[in-house]
Amino acid sequence: MQKNESVTVTIQDMGVNGEGIGRVNGYTLFIKDAVIGDVVEARVTKAKKNYGYARLMNIITPSEHRVEPVCKFARKCGGCQIQEMSYEKQLEFKQNKVLGNLERIGGFSRDRLSEVFGPIIGMEKPFGYRNKAQFPFGTDKNGQPITGFYAGRTHDIIANTDCALGVGVNREILEIVLAFMKKYGVRSYDEKTGEGLIRHVLIRYGFATKEIMVCVVVNRGKAEFGNCEELDCKNREKAECRKREELNCENGEKAECRNCEELNCENGEKAECRNCEELNCENREKADCGNCDKMDCEKLDRVNRGNRGTKGLESGSVMGLRWIPHQEVLVEELARIPGMTSITVSPNPRQTNVIMGERYEVLWGQPFITDYIGAVKYQISPLSFYQVNPMQTEKLYGLAMEYADLKGEETVWDLYCGIGTISLFLAQKAGKVYGVEIVPQAVEDARRNAEINGIENAEFYVGKAEEVLPGYYQRYEKEHPGERAHADVIVVDPPRKGCDEGLLKTMADMQPERIVYVSCDSATLARDLRYLCERGYEVKKGRVVDQFGMSVHVETVCLLSKLNVEHHIEVELTMDELDLTAAESKATYEEIKNYVLEHTGLKVSNLYIAQIKQKCGIIERANYNLPKSENSRQPKCPPEKEVAIREALEYFRMI
């Protein structure tokens, strides 16, 4: 097969990223935008020895599963990889993808998986389901600001303010921001030069409450104080206004901070807000417009919903800090949208692909919106992790609750707990729940969420799950000689990379009766389930839940139970009997080859794998793939295949 060669291909399968897979005389081609069952004409764009990539040129015979996409940008945009495939076929593809990884990487038999897993749980409406969207901003060829989503595998913005997966109000918000930028000459951020101001706009929407949040991510580290760059103030970052006389406080010269507890004056409690007349409450002099939950007034609920109006925005900068030129105009326009509850700005001056800054500032309204999953109420800040599909999340968490099988006395650990979404669900039926999350702001949100729901049996800790739980286990052993820390149920909902091996070991050592594993990546799920099943657990139940219609991503929840020793026996075998090294026992050569092929498209031989294992210090068995004589020559593993094999060895935790 040669580059630029045109071929006719029947699409037989789909890859992990949604690309069609077809074969021509045994040669494998990956073709973006092709659907299982299509017969297509494609042009080869990249050709390797055993596989290649091709561009879809023409659909000769469309598949029975091919549908007209809802969005006209579906092929260009990188957000919806499989929108041209019927939703029923999408669900089948996702179920098979999960089970295939569990079989190939986890080592589970297909028969066993058929017994354990129920059918995939799909959506009633696979469009308009996302409660969160992050829109990058850029500049078109005419120098005008644009926003939308990145084209697949690029940072080229496809201009589109009406994503089919998001809520309808997104378009109105984005059009307001774009019109504002054009009117006042506010520039979009340029990744190449590091110049420009507006990087992203984050929009969150509460499906149950109809509350809206807008957070503008800006390319700057500090706000201006009016137009004065020479303000001589030690607390410049905390200064609330340009002129101290604007503060209604006898000791105004000391009232430089926004938070009342930092004010060093007798009337500090009255210097909390800039324009007290904006608040409709009897005790407005005590009202803190940034933290409504601290308000001491009878009409707290009304103010909490963001019914502050826009009075006072016309004069000066919002909250006294100017992050965006003429920001009061932008805020006033956004605040008119029904349901608008929170308008914030997140400074991010770093040249990075990370979207959000490390903090945010309130421009108007609350620093959060609220929403419900089931009966549990959550406060969601700009930096909070919160599942993007609330309808499916309730089904997912319902399964997690069912699998946990709580009776009211259990001790539960919830690892990677975020803002406490699963923790608070479980706390309704558990004796005690401990949540662990690495993001401090998320833990603050979790504690606040527990408080507003009246939940007193949940505690939250800041830190890495792979450090907090093992640390707790080790301390408990030291403080209680002869005993070991125990949990009745452990719930994990890790990022795509899965769980750290040290964490998995501690989980197994704590011997919980049940482990509930919620996963957004079935490959790392399969790897981690294999590890736990080698240490006394078995998979009892599992379901795939489609949280992300039109994309290749999917969630899976599994229940693992501790093996009943009365019904299982242990057989002790020495390594000599098995003729395996410890590292070799983690993955077979066939599994390594399959992993490399799936993730890189490269085919590698047993010989190449053996060579790289030896390089990595993994001792091979005697006489394995050695040359027949000292003068014999063996082919050496090419550099690109060595990189791919090393990645596989790392994935299987062999190095």
Using alpha carbons only, what angle is made at residue 178 by residues 146 and 221, rounded to the nearest 5 degrees?
85
User: Of the CATH numbers 3.20.20.10, 3.30.420.40, 3.40.50.150, 1.10.760.10, which one belongs to the domain with range 82-129+389-570?
Assistant: 3.40.50.150
The C-alpha torsion from 5 through 9 and 12 to 14, rounded to 10°, is 40
Neighbours of 154 (CB within 10 A): 10
Percent above pLDDT 90 for the chain = 65
User: Residue 640's pLDDT band (boundaries 50, 70, 90)?
Assistant: confident
Helices (H), 223-360: 300-304, 327-335
Whole-number pLDDT of residue 617:
63
Q: In terms of Cα–Cα distance, which of 597, 416, 651 is closest to 518?
A: 416
The mean pLDDT of 5-13, rounded to a whole number, is 96
211-215, 321-325, 402-406, 527-531: the lowest-pLDDT one: 321-325
Whether the pLDDT of residue 28 is over 90: the answer is yes
Whether the pLDDT of residue 46 is over 80: the answer is yes
From the candidates 520, 533, 558, 637, which is the catalytic residue? 520
Helices (H), 511-624: 522-533, 575-578, 589-600, 606-615
Assess contact for 89 and 36: CB atoms under 8 A: yes
Task: Look up tokens 């939940």; give the residue.
Answer: 455
Q: Are strands 340-347 and 212-218 parallel, antiparallel or unpaired?
A: parallel
262-271, 448-457, 619-628: the lowest-pLDDT one: 262-271
pLDDT digits (tens, 9 = 90+) for 269-317: 433 443 333 344 443 333 344 334 433 333 333 333 333 333 334 333 3
The domain made up of 130-223+323-385 has a fold known as: OB fold (Dihydrolipoamide Acetyltransferase, E2P) (2.40.50)
| Neighbouring residues of 108: CB distance < 8 A, sequence distance ≥ 6 | 102, 526, 529, 539
Percent above pLDDT 70 for the chain = 79
Assess contact for 648 and 596: CB atoms under 8 A: yes
Whether the pLDDT of residue 321 is over 80: the answer is no
Alpha-carbon gap, residue 618 to 138, rounded angstroms: 49
| Neighbouring residues of 450: CB distance < 8 A, sequence distance ≥ 6 | 420, 423, 424, 427, 456, 458, 460
Handedness of CA 106, 109, 115, 119 (dihedral sign): positive
Mean pLDDT across the chain: 83
Whole-number pLDDT of residue 294:
37
Q: Which two tokens stand for residue 416?
A: 């990677």
Assess contact for 606 and 589: CB atoms under 8 A: yes
Q: Which two tokens stand for residue 115?
A: 């017994």
Whole-number pLDDT of residue 522:
96
pLDDT digits (tens, 9 = 90+) for 66-116: 999 999 999 988 789 999 999 999 999 999 999 999 999 999 999 999 999
Whether the pLDDT of residue 627 is over 50: the answer is no
User: Residue 603's pLDDT band (boundaries 50, 70, 90)?
Assistant: confident
Burial of 617 (0-12, 13-18, 19+ CB in 10 A): exposed
| Neighbouring residues of 589: CB distance < 8 A, sequence distance ≥ 6 | 606, 609
Annotated active-site residue 297? The verdict is no
Whether the pLDDT of residue 520 is over 70: the answer is yes
Q: In terms of Cα–Cα distance, which of 137, 281, 286, 132 is closest to 211?
A: 132
Percent helix, strand and coil across the chain, each rounded to 5?
Answer: 30, 25, 45
> Which residue ranges make up each domain of the chain?
1-66, 82-129+389-570, 130-223+323-385, 228-305, 582-651
In the DSSP assignment, the letter for residue 59 is E
More confident residue, 572 or 212: 212
User: Residue 633's pLDDT band (boundaries 50, 70, 90)?
Assistant: low
Q: Which two tokens stand for residue 441?
A: 């702001």
The H or E element spanning position 582 is none
DSSP string covering 504-540: HHHHHHH--SEEEEEES-HHHHHHHHHHHHTTTEEEE
User: Residue 586's pLDDT band (boundaries 50, 70, 90)?
Assistant: low
Q: Which two tokens stand for residue 542?
A: 């599992």
Whole-number pLDDT of residue 64:
97
Q: Are strands 432-437 and 6-14 parallel, antiparallel or unpaired?
A: unpaired
Domains 1-66 and 130-223+323-385 share a fold: yes
The H or E element spanning position 189 is none
Query: 589-600 and 639-651 helices cross at what angle (nearest 10)?
Result: 110
Whether the pLDDT of residue 258 is over 60: the answer is no
Half-sphere exposure (Cβ direction) of 635: Cα atoms closer than 13 Å: 11
Burial of 329 (0-12, 13-18, 19+ CB in 10 A): middle
Reported pTM: 0.74
Whether the pLDDT of residue 352 is over 80: the answer is yes
Whether the pLDDT of residue 548 is over 90: the answer is yes
Alpha-carbon gap, residue 300 to 592, rounded angstroms: 60
Whether the pLDDT of residue 448 is over 70: the answer is yes
Task: Look up tokens 């599963």; give the residue.
Answer: 65
Whole-number pLDDT of residue 225:
55
| Neighbouring residues of 29: CB distance < 8 A, sequence distance ≥ 6 | 1, 7, 9, 21, 22, 23, 42, 44, 51, 52, 53, 54
DSSP string covering 89-154: HHHHHHHHHHHHHHHHTT---HHHHHHHB---B--S--SS--SEEEEEEEE-TTS-EEEEEEBTTS
The mean pLDDT of 414-434, rounded to a whole number, is 96
Whole-number pLDDT of residue 655:
72
User: Residue 242's pLDDT band (boundaries 50, 70, 90)?
Assistant: very low
The H or E element spanning position 641 is helix 639-651
**Residues 420-434, buried b or exposed e (16+ Cβ, 10 A)?**
bbbbbbbbbbbeebb
The C-alpha torsion from 598 through 604 and 610 to 616, rounded to 10°, is -60
Whole-number pLDDT of residue 630:
44
pLDDT digits (tens, 9 = 90+) for 403-422: 999 999 999 999 999 999 99
Whole-number pLDDT of residue 245:
36
User: Residue 223's pLDDT band (boundaries 50, 70, 90)?
Assistant: confident
Per CATH, domain 1-66 is 3.50.50.60: no
Q: Which two tokens stand for residue 224?
A: 């201006």
